[in-house]
Amino acid sequence: NAGVMQNPRHLVRRRGQEARLRCSPMKGHSHVYWYRQLPEEGLKFMVYLQKENIIDESGMPKERFSAEFPKEGPSILRIQQVVRGDSAAYFCASSPGAANYGYTFGSGTRLTVV
């Protein structure tokens, strides 16, 4: 019973390149959440998705960031034209549909922009 799988674990991109972060939720989980962790800033919510739907993207920067959770395949967090300030750990979590469950987190993708 695999947990939440994120890949890659580490990603290095040059400024201006695109970064694609993948998240496969736990089996049976239909809700996916993306969080960003910056040093000294804790865990910040970015986006909440269900299959083929974005439920809440209130934490997503207005430009360059997008997320999807297609009917088939993993959820993708895409960052276009990366800048140094995008360097962070990005965590994906999943949950079943019931509202009072907590999350299961992946191990994260550490993005470094050089």
Partner 1 sequence: AQSVAQPEDQVNVAEGNPLTVKCTYSVSGNPYLFWYVQYPNRGLQFLLKYITGDNLVKGSYGFEAEFNKSQTSFHLKKPSALVSDSALYFCAVRDLNYGGATNKLIFGTGTLLAVQP
Residues that bind partner 1 (CB under 8 A): 4, 6, 31, 33, 35, 41-45, 48, 55-56, 91, 93, 95, 98-108, 110
Question: What is the closest distance, in whole angstroms, from the C-beta atom of residue 4 to partner 1 in the complex?
Answer: 8
Question: What is the closest distance, in whole angstroms, from the C-beta atom of residue 109 to partner 1 in the complex?
Answer: 10
- Is 41 or 72 the residue whose CB approaches partner 1 more closely? 41
Q: Count how many Cα atoms sit within 13 Å of the Cα of residue 65 in the half-sphere of its side chain.
A: 16
Q: Which two tokens stand for residue 72?
A: 């088939």
Residues in contact with 105: Cβ distance below 8 Å, sequence separation at least 6, in sequence order: 4, 91, 92, 93
Alpha carbons 100 and 78: distance in angstroms, whole number: 29
Question: What is the closest distance, in whole angstroms, from the C-beta atom of residue 66 to partner 1 in the complex?
Answer: 18
- Is 2 or 99 the residue whose CB approaches partner 1 more closely? 99
